[in-house]
Structure 1
Amino acid sequence: MTDLKKHFAVIGNPIHHSLSPQIHIAFAKENGLDIDYEAVLSPLDQFKNTMHQLIQQKFTGANVTLPFKKEAYQLATTHSSHAKIAEAVNTLEFKENEIIGHNTDGIGLVRDLEQNLNVDLKSKKILLIGAGGAAEGVIYSMLEKKPSELMLTNRTIEKSRAIKNKMDMHAKGFNVNFNVIEIAKLPHQYFDLIINATSANFNNAELGIDHKVFHESSLAYDMMYGKETSYMKHAKSQGSRVSDGLGMLVEQAAEAFFIWHHIKPHTKSVIESLRAL
């Protein structure tokens, strides 16, 4: 590629559903930038080769989605602090002989909660459901905001404990009550914010979450986007305010856009236009 236009991509498998091209093109248009941004399907065993092809084609950067965030972390030669803590990367910069890995997921979640949903996380009691990469990628960013309590739960408590042990070394200075709780004990607790970070394949019955966890003054947030999940329906039936993860998707993309272009894009109009679709 000899043109001056900068080239970007999002890599995943599957990838046809990705809204990232629309989001980044909208950000670029708003800021008078002419960029290319494409969705690239990588075979499951070919992620490294796919990335090296993009580098050879003089791409400036790439976003990485499931299931390649851990591989992207291993591929990067330098890591941001958030990427190091999560041990996962969703944004890559290609600079000369360097591949710089970032993780913007936690920043995206916190911004959506604080700026779009008007939730001040400081001193709040938070429950995070899930112990996979999605949960791991956002815990540090939430602890940074100094909630009074962050509880982690999952169907298999061992996974939650493993994440807690890993995060404890990074989060010591925050003075947050960060702990693991068994699903059976949830109905006897109060939470201001309940976040579902599990995969779409698991519904509430399988998670074993009692509907009494939800109440009128809580926000139930689902990282999935594009449809009302059974988790959101259960929460709504108990009077909770609910939100899907579309705002998080746009906000984490905005942080990636800032990393690449050093411009902070406006996000509200993009969220609204995607919601309208």
Structure 2
Amino acid sequence: MSHYAVFGHPVSHSLSPRIHAAFGRQTGIELNYTAVDAAPEAFMQALDAFAAGGGRGANVTLPLKEAAFALCSATSERAQRAGAVNTLTRNDGQWHGDNTDGIGLVRDLTGRLRLDLRGRRALLLGAGGSARGVAPALLDAGVSELIIANRTPERADALADALGEPERAHSRYWEDLVNEGDFALIVNATSASRSGATEFSLPFQLSTPRTLAVDLNYGEAAIAFLAWARTAGCRDMVDGLGMLVEQAAAAFEIWHGVRPDTAPVYAALRGKDASLVTAD
């Protein structure tokens, strides 16, 4: 039996084991997929132990995505553009890294929800591993401008520079967002709600009724941002559950060479109580 896992901290409530088990049943592929809690300082040792035990692939969630990138002997173009890895594959005794976060988000929005991202002026909140994963894909999907804001401005500056598109990708100080006008797309890639924050503070003038508000978190972790979006008058609001399923499907295809059907898996998860589950 093939061994796979998701690494994160915390990770005990991740839905990834359930998602990959469902994909395995659907495609007739027998696999064992577990969750491994690894603090950043213990990640390398935990990954080595997993590989020694026969681990063939792994997903990586917060806060380990940038550390995973540094541990890879080879990385895909998507991972290189992001500077972060969420999918690891064991090849010839070494880890090869990819990033399926961005393609997962875009597939959920343009596929399942049939939304058009082209020409949208976009605001990306956050500059950590999750933001790095989705930023290149948003540019590839055709957003007209991508403004990146982070509580630590140096990280926003670094991400904007790494994207290599100075005409479209720019960083801004969080406190200066009040002067930025409105956006057709606002993506929350921060971890504020994971830290127990119950309110999300942003200027309401950033949105209009036509603004699409997307949180990369889901369940309880998405409540604060989506509540802000609702109060700000956004008509369309999306949490990160669909992205989670889509990025998992992309990882599954990398490992097994077959793409599973995401629709029934998403529908089954949406019917369950995910209020205590953290996003990947």
- What is the TM-score normalised by the length of structure 1? 0.89
The Cα of 1:140 is off from its aligned counterpart by: 0.9
Which residue does 2:8 correspond to in 1? 12
Cα distance change, pair 138–276 in 1 and its aligned pair in 2 (3 A): same
Give the aligned residue type for 1:195. V
Picking from 167, 172, 178, the partner of 1:181 is: 172
Asked whether the 8 Å contact 2:11–2:37 carries over to 1, the reply is yes
Q: Distance in 2 between matches of 1:44 and 1:185?
A: 31
Give the aligned residue type for 1:190. D
Gaps of 5+ in 1: none
Asked whether the 8 Å contact 1:122–1:146 carries over to 2, the reply is yes
Q: Distance in 1 between matches of 2:201 and 2:228?
A: 12
The Cα of 1:25 is off from its aligned counterpart by: 0.5
Gaps of 5+ in 2: 273-280
Cα distance change, pair 75–155 in 1 and its aligned pair in 2 (3 A): closer
Cα distance change, pair 204–9 in 1 and its aligned pair in 2 (3 A): closer
Which residue does 2:218 correspond to in 1? 225
The Cα of 1:185 is off from its aligned counterpart by: 4.0
Which residue does 1:70 correspond to in 2? 66
Which structure is larger by alpha-carbon Rg, 1 or 2? 1
Question: For 1:7-86, what aligned pairs fall within 5 Å after superposition?
Answer: 7-86=3-82
Q: Distance in 2 between matches of 1:30 and 1:209?
A: 42
Picking from 242, 266, 272, the partner of 2:267 is: 272
The Cα of 1:177 is off from its aligned counterpart by: 2.3
Query: Does residue 192 in structure 1 map to residue 188 in structure 2?
Result: no
Q: Distance in 2 between matches of 1:204 and 1:195?
A: 18
Q: In terms of mean alpha carbon deviation, does 176-185 or 259-268 score higher?
A: 176-185
Query: Does residue 158 in structure 1 map to residue 181 in structure 2?
Result: no
Give the aligned residue type for 2:228. H
The Cα of 1:156 is off from its aligned counterpart by: 3.9
* Aligned-residue identity in percent: 39
Q: Distance in 2 between matches of 1:266 and 1:108?
A: 13
The Cα of 1:97 is off from its aligned counterpart by: 2.5
Q: Distance in 2 between matches of 1:204 and 1:190?
A: 24
Asked whether the 8 Å contact 1:187–1:212 carries over to 2, the reply is no
Cα distance change, pair 157–99 in 1 and its aligned pair in 2 (3 A): closer
Asked whether the 8 Å contact 1:8–1:61 carries over to 2, the reply is yes
The Cα of 1:98 is off from its aligned counterpart by: 2.7
Q: Is the partner of 1:122 in helix, strand or coil?
A: coil
Which residue does 2:96 correspond to in 1? 100
